[in-house]
Chain A
């Protein structure tokens, strides 16, 4: 087990005594080398789970580990590449400077770093913008820069929060191919998305989250076979759950 989430509970305290549960007793175990898709409607709590995993926000209770170490330990992130939902960077830096920063802080040796920067930028079609400040980038370019930053230190684990958001079809293809390469290289990929067609191609297993509850966790084929296609499975599962709640 590379990523373990056990009995995760998170709620946001509202005014008064009532607290709003966001994640209820979630348990999820991700295996080494697998590609796991985290699905759910908007507001299900997918981003929250990822942010807890990255130690940006604190769980109320539960045990989370990456590579056997608690997520509270900063050194585990040497092996983790993270792409936030809507990446924003320091405007005045260039992609090259950003990647150099990311690499150095993650202890990538300088000689390896220079070469890897060029390779990554080329792979993501950003070479022409290498020395231009990020504030001049389009949305798609920013997203791809974020991906490069997540990969600059060649991490074992990739945690991507909605990696396809804001991309045009060309961009989506680029990122999808990139993720497939990661899979081939044996990396563990954990990503959230709501573009179901991509999920089918990219994942080994999926998890479905609705209002903080895990409705399904298992191989993609099994999920598809519930109703014959992924989309229907997803929609039915979520609708049923919503009905039960009322």
Chain B
């Protein structure tokens, strides 16, 4: 157990000193200015747009951390074999995976926290300037809830990125798989709904989609941006289910990753 935390710590240390993190935060600040500009070009629903853009920024930077910081670090471990310096210690391969996962998740969490604070400030300023356009039911609690679910979906992506890095033969392939899974995960519910509602699509494609919804993560379930933007009703049952789903899927992916990594040759 202790080994896992030591490994988590060293992952975070290496990650934080990497300049990519700074770059992403800088990008976030730029996006906040863009937010101000963009909302200026709307005539209605300014508050809603500000929240939309702000939460999207949080998601995008989380993804950027995974793709431009997390995956390269992992890839380096396996390509350049910096993993030797860890596995030559009395630490099990399983602990390596779990430690890495926690380390990367915390890096993502740091980015999410910094960005949601910056975003919240910019949203507050925009709402302060145009109080007429704040959606009536907006609340910071719901905003926080949306950030939480965004983070949960990023945790899933982190676990998947680790799995793909361990499975794929090159870091490029791992990158492609991860992006692909992200796109599929975001759209699977949309496509299923479309086919179901409009009675199009033959039974083969419907069964295929149903099967896919068990393999791929349903990332759109974690998208609470509209709810946050309008302060809409949310149902505790849905939130509870979504959280349980996120945690169980992540655990499953980690389990599979440990199994795969135990077999992998590090040469």
**Which residues of B are found within 8 Å of A92, using beta-carbon distances?**
13-14, 17-18
Residue among B9, B82, B85, B265 having the largest count of chain A Cβ atoms under 10 Å: B85
Q: Are A101 and B10 in contact (CB under 8 A)?
A: yes
Taken residue by residue from 107 to 145, chain A's Cβ proximity to chain B (1 for < 8 Å, 0 otherwise) reads as 100000000000000000000000001000000000000
Bound: A106/B3 CA distance, A: 9
Which residue from B7, B13, B18 sits with its C-beta under 8 Å from A105? B7
Bound: A102/B266 CA distance, A: 20
**Which residues of B are found within 8 Å of A76, using beta-carbon distances?**
90
Quick one: given A56-B266, A101-B6, A101-B10, are A88 and B81 in contact (CB under 8 Å)? yes
Q: Are B89 and A102 in contact (CB under 8 A)?
A: yes
Interface stretch, picked from A24-32, A78-86, A195-203, is: A78-86
Q: Are B265 and A105 in contact (CB under 8 A)?
A: no
Bound: A80/B165 CA distance, A: 28
Q: With an 8 A cutoff between CB atoms, is B27 at the interface?
A: no
Nearest Cβ in chain B — how far from A73, in angstroms? 9
Chain A residue nearest in CB terms to B77? A90
Taken residue by residue from 85 to 98, chain B's Cβ proximity to chain A (1 for < 8 Å, 0 otherwise) reads as 11111111100000
**Size of chain B's interface in residues, with CB distance under 8 A?**
26
Q: Are B92 and A93 in contact (CB under 8 A)?
A: no
Chain B residue nearest in CB terms to A57? B265
Q: Are A78 and B80 in contact (CB under 8 A)?
A: no
Which residue from A56, A80, A93, A105 sits with its C-beta under 8 Å from B84? A56
Chain B residue nearest in CB terms to A86? B81
* A: contact size bracket: 20 to 34
Q: Are A74 and B90 in contact (CB under 8 A)?
A: yes
Q: Are A78 and B90 in contact (CB under 8 A)?
A: yes
Q: With an 8 A cutoff between CB atoms, is B202 at the interface?
A: no
Q: Are B88 and A82 in contact (CB under 8 A)?
A: yes
Q: With an 8 A cutoff between CB atoms, is B267 at the interface?
A: yes
Q: Are B90 and A87 in contact (CB under 8 A)?
A: no
**Which residues of B are found within 8 Å of A3, using beta-carbon distances?**
none
Q: Are B6 and A105 in contact (CB under 8 A)?
A: yes
Which residue from B10, B80, B93, B267 sits with its C-beta under 8 Å from A88? B80
Q: Are A105 and B3 in contact (CB under 8 A)?
A: yes
Bound: A88/B81 CA distance, A: 7
- Among A52-76, those with CB < 8 Å from B are 54-58, 74-76
**Which residues of B are found within 8 Å of A78, using beta-carbon distances?**
90
Bound: A200/B44 CA distance, A: 84
Bound: A18/B262 CA distance, A: 26
Quick one: given A76-B90, A105-B6, are A149 and B85 in contact (CB under 8 Å)? yes
Q: Are A104 and B90 in contact (CB under 8 A)?
A: no
**Which residues of B are found within 8 Å of A178, using beta-carbon distances?**
none
Q: Are B267 and A87 in contact (CB under 8 A)?
A: no
Quick one: given A51-B267, A88-B81, A92-B17, are A56 and B10 in contact (CB under 8 Å)? no
Q: Are A89 and B82 in contact (CB under 8 A)?
A: yes
**Which residues of B are found within 8 Å of A77, using beta-carbon distances?**
88-91
Nearest Cβ in chain A — how far from B94, in angstroms? 9
Q: With an 8 A cutoff between CB atoms, is A97 at the interface?
A: yes
Bound: A77/B3 CA distance, A: 13
Chain A residue nearest in CB terms to B11? A90
Bound: A93/B12 CA distance, A: 11
Bound: A74/B3 CA distance, A: 12
Nearest Cβ in chain B — how far from A81, in angstroms? 8
Quick one: given A88-B80, A101-B6, are A56 and B87 in contact (CB under 8 Å)? yes
Nearest Cβ in chain B — how far from A155, in angstroms? 10
Q: Are B6 and A56 in contact (CB under 8 A)?
A: no
Q: Are B267 and A105 in contact (CB under 8 A)?
A: no
Quick one: given A56-B266, A57-B265, A97-B13, are A87 and B85 in contact (CB under 8 Å)? yes
Q: Are B7 and A90 in contact (CB under 8 A)?
A: no
**Which residues of A are found within 8 Å of B17, using beta-carbon distances?**
92-93, 133
Chain A residues packing against B (C-beta within 8 Å)? 51, 54-58, 74-78, 80, 82, 84, 87-93, 97-98, 101-102, 104-107, 133, 149-150
User: Can you pick out 25 interface pairs between chain A and chain B where the beta carbons lie within 8 Å of each other?
Assistant: A54-B88, A57-B266, A75-B90, A76-B90, A82-B84, A84-B81, A84-B84, A89-B82, A92-B14, A92-B18, A93-B13, A93-B14, A93-B17, A97-B10, A98-B85, A101-B6, A101-B10, A105-B3, A105-B7, A105-B90, A105-B91, A107-B90, A133-B17, A149-B85, A150-B88
Having A51-B267, A56-B266, A105-B90, one finds 4 other A-B pairs with CB under 8 Å, namely: A54-B84, A84-B85, A90-B10, A101-B9
